[in-house]
């Protein structure tokens, strides 16, 4: 009987997959899925040629772009730094001269000065020109403890796929005969000076359906990459496999792991031993954070009854005990957030655990210290740091040499400040302050709560003029994301302030379900079959704004990108009467086919699988592409994407535009040939995108 059920299930899945393939074949715009296909690129260029003059010929566009360039390229921006193992600070910087950017360093003493003395490590503009390549710097992975040797990640035009090249930060040159891994999506970690752990495309059958690697190998210096030795293999149905080298504060390797991600939100940790991989007993939804005093620190996004842990907890396990007998090692609770809290960030200095905690979407910073419990387990004590209240607090880089850690403090009307804290003593020092980039004296910030369709209270922030007239006439921009446990926290945005608030606009951010504002449960409440709750939350906030007469449908515009772009597509198809402007950035849009487009298969854990009939039904109910209809009151939308986006495929935005055109609707479209998932590869392109977006919003909501 079991075999019969299995056979029937497999047959149903096969039939559904066949139906999906047939639908794709019937899609008149399926040819747009060839990223740089001649026909698709011709269509995109024609759309740019049609749409851009509508916005760039507006007399406001040039001024908006100039304003954007001014704050984007300003030299008084806070240069965000990270501690390096050699005792210095490193930063990546872009400005009007260094468009592609400088990787540079300075000392702490120099950094305290108003004008630090920087030493260039790598000039990406010079490199790109010398090599005739469209290089975009994507970061560097450096070998602890000194961080002298680094694998520099260089992307062609901003794609997620990168080329890895070994770089010596002392000689400031690429290492002759050093490690070089060709272009591709790849996960890498240093084991020692002569060994890398690397997962990449090793040939046919080594990449997942999500377009990420699932075969992990060790690669020795001086040998061809083809001779790397396999140490762990996942499956093609996984999202990806990554290496994880766990080091203590002195850089000594304490454990080597392979991390298998069967879905976007699930991880299996395997200890790599001389006798092969050993699976560790963590629940699928958990995240290892690091090592403090021999204690392995982790969070759980689901209950772990065997260890008496609840969803959202922060806990630790003695690493030696875990390695000795994984099944018998006991966890110790460090922090259990309340219903109004969420753990946003975790970082580790030499001896301390630093936690960024949210309380009703405002920030706190805590320091936890492990203490041996004699014959018993380790215990933890926590102290809250005396940083400003009612703002967002970001936990930045922490030092392995001591217990210094950087914090950022920011709010919608509060220019960002950078603080240096000593996690051991609690001493705090303000190091840098961003000068105001717009006049905030005329505005206030308020938090309201809307009631969603199922009765859930949903918070949102309103940034409005102090003298706002509650007559429904205020041009209002509402932003939201609502997915992947990403929290929308208050932050200082020169773009919003200078280009929107100073021009009389109201700015609103909705903390809808699907995000992480109240922990994993807030996220799970909007997963898969419950996806409509995310959209109902957004509509509830929109209606609340209108009911309060802050704005009206004529003056209300919305914006969102990626998963937020999907949200915009749903708003367009389900409640178009609420909005007069919709900015749809790098969106997911064709949800019935998303798993076979780009990296879409990796997000089944968020949305469900359209190859499964029941899940396809959930998705079909909100899928923007198939739910576009003739004769609906759709506003003229603005679609944005990037040809180089190898995460959310540009076909989503292309097909949305083509279908709108086929149905007779007006819309605007911009496809940046560079840019990756951010739709901008450098500051000039970012300024252009900002100016286009806010020109469109003014045309739709102000005029």
Q: Is 242 a catalytic residue?
A: no
Cα 439 to Cα 372: distance, rounded to the nearest angstrom: 52
Of 84, 562, 602, 678, catalytic = 562
Q: Hey, what are 660's tokens?
A: 């709108």
Q: 3-state class of 402 per DSSP?
A: coil
Give the H/E segment covering residue 694: helix 683-697
Pair 266, 285: CB distance under 8 Å: yes
Q: Is 339 exposed, middle or buried (0-12, 13-18, 19+ CB in 10 A)?
A: exposed
Q: How far is CA 115 from CA 26, 78, 119, 207, 479, in A?
A: 61, 11, 13, 47, 36
Write out the two tokens for 348: 């580790």
Token output for 644: 């180089």
Peptide bond into 145 cis (omega under 30): yes
Classify residue 226 by its DSSP letter: G
In our burial notation (b when 16+ CB lie closer than 10 A, e otherwise), range 27-40 reads bebbbbbebeeeeb
CA 411, CA 416: separation in Å to the nearest integer?
Answer: 7
Decide: 300 and 313 in contact? Cβ < 8 Å.
yes
* CA angle (195 as vertex; 178, 193 as ends), nearest 5: 70
User: Distance of CA 48 to CAs 22, 565, 642, Å?
Assistant: 31, 19, 12
Burial of 226 (0-12, 13-18, 19+ CB in 10 A): exposed
Phi, psi of 227 (to 5 degrees): -95, 5
Find the catalytic residue in 98, 649, 652, 677: 677
DSSP codes joined into one string, 83-116: E-TTS-EEEEE--SS-SS-EEEEE-HHHHTSSS-
* Residue 677 known to be catalytic: yes
HSE-CB for 41 with a 13 A CA cutoff: 8
Q: Determine the Cα–Cα distance for residues 352 and 687; give it in Å rounded to an integer.
A: 40
Encoded tokens for 221: 């210096």
Active site residues: 562, 677
């Amino acid at each position: 009987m079991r075999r019969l059920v299995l056979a029937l299930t497999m047959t149903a899945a096969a039939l559904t997959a066949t139906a999906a393939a047939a639908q794709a074949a019937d899609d008149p715009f399926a040819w747009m899925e060839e990223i740089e296909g001649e026909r698709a690129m011709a269509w995109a260029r024609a759309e740019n040629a049609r749409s851009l003059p509508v916005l760039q010929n507006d007399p406001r566009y040039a001024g908006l772009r100039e304003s954007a360039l001014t704050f984007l390229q300003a030299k008084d921006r806070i240069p965000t730094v990270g501690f390096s193992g050699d005792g210095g600070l490193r930063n990546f910087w872009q400005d009007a001269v260094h468009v592609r950017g400088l990787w540079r360093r300075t000392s702490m003493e120099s950094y305290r000065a108003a004008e630090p003395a920087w030493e260039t490590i790598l000039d990406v503009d010079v490199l790109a020109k010398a090599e005739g390549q469209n290089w975009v710097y994507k970061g560097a992975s450096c070998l602890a403890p000194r961080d002298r040797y680094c694998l520099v990640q260089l992307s062609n035009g901003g794609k997620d796929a990168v080329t890895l090249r070994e770089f010596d930060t002392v000689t400031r040159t690429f290492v002759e005969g050093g490690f070089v891994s060709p272009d591709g999506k790849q996960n890498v970690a240093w084991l020692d000076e002569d060994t890398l752990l690397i997962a990449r495309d090793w040939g046919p059958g080594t990449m997942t359906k999500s377009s990420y690697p699932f075969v992990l190998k060790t690669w020795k210096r001086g040998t061809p990459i083809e001779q790397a030795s396999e140490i762990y293999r996942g499956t093609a149905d996984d999202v990806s496999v990554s290496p994880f080298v766990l080091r203590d504060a002195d850089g000594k390797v304490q454990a080597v792991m392979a991390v298998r991600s069967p879905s976007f939100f699930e991880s299996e940790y395997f200890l790599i031993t001389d006798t092969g991989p050993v699976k560790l007993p963590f629940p699928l939804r958990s995240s290892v954070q690091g090592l403090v005093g021999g204690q392995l620190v982790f969070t759980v996004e689901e209950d772990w009854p065997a260890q008496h842990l609840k969803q959202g907890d922060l806990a630790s396990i003695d690493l030696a005990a875990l390695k000795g007998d994984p099944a018998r090692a006991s966890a110790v609770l460090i922090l259990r957030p309340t219903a109004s809290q969420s753990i946003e960030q975790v970082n580790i200095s030499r001896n301390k655990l630093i936690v960024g905690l949210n309380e009703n979407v405002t920030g706190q910073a805590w320091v936890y210290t492990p203490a041996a419990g004699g014959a018993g387990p380790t215990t933890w004590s926590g102290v809250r740091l005396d940083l400003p209240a009612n703002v967002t607090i970001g936990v930045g880089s922490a030092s392995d040499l001591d217990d210094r850690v950087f914090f950022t403090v920011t709010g919608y009307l509060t220019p960002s400040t950078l603080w240096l804290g000593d996690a051991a003593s609690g001493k705090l020092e303000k190091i840098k302050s961003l000068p105001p980039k717009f006049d905030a004296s005329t505005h206030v910030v308020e938090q309201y709560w809307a009631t969603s369709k199922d009765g859930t209270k949903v918070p949102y922030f309103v940034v409005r003029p102090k003298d706002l007239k509650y007559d429904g006439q205020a041009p209002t921009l509402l932003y939201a994301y609502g997915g992947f446990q990403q929290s929308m926290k208050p932050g200082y945005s020169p773009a919003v302030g200078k280009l929107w608030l100073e021009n009389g606009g109201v700015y609103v951010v909705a903390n809808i379900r699907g995000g992480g504002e109240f922990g994993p449960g807030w996220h799970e409440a909007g997963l898969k079959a419950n996806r409509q709750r995310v959209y109902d939350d957004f509509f509830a906030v929109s209606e609340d704004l209108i009911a309060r007469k802050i704005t009206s449908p004529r003056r209300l515009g919305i914006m969102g990108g990626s998963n937020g772009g999907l949200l915009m597509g749903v708003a367009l198809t389900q409640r178009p009467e609420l909005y007069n402007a919709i900015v749809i950035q790098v969106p997911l849009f064709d949800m019935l086919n998303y798993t076979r487009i780009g990296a879409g298969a990796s997000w089944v854990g968020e949305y469900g699988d359209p190859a499964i009939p029941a899940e396809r039904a959930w998705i079909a109910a909100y899928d923007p592409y198939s739910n576009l209809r003739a004769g609906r009151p759709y506003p003229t939308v603005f679609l944005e994407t990037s040809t180089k986006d190898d995460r959310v495929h540009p076909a989503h935005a292309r097909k949305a535009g083509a279908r709108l055109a086929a149905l007779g609707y007006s819309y605007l479209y911009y496809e940046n040939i560079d840019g990756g998932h951010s739709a901008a590869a450098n500051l000039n392109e970012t300024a252009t995108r900002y100016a286009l977006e806010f020109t469109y919003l003014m045309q739709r909501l102000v005029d």
